[in-house]
Amino acid sequence: MTKIYINGKFFDKADAKISVFDHGLLYGDGVFEGIRIYDGKVFRLPEHVERLYDSAKHIALDVPLSREKMTEAVLHAVEVNAKKDGYIRLVVTRGAGGLGIDPRKTTDPQVIIIVDDISLYPRELYENGLEVITSSFVRNHPNALNPRIKSLNYLNNILAKIEAVRAGCLEAIMLNVNGEVAECTADNIFLVKRGVLKTPPPHAGILEGVTRDFVIELARAAGVPFQETTLTRHDVYAADECFLTGTGAEIIPVVKCDGRVLGPGKPGPITRQLRERFHQAVRQGADGR
Q: Which residues are catalytic?
A: 150
Residue ranges of E strands in the chain = 3-6, 9-12, 30-38, 41-42, 86-93, 111-116, 130-134, 171-175, 181-184, 188-193, 196-199, 226-228, 241-246, 250-257, 260-261
Rg (CA), the chain: 19
Q: Is 280 helix (H, G, I), strand (E, B) or coil?
A: helix
Residue pair 83/115 in contact by the 8 Å Cβ criterion: yes
Residue pair 185/207 in contact by the 8 Å Cβ criterion: no
Neighbours of 66 (CB within 10 A): 10
Residue type, 216: I
Angle (CA) 46-48-54 rounded to 5° is 100
3-state DSSP helix/strand/coil % of the chain, to nearest 5? 35, 30, 40
The contacts of residue 284 (CB under 8 Å, 6+ apart) are none
Q: How many residues does the chain have?
A: 289
Angle (CA) 139-124-248 rounded to 5° is 40
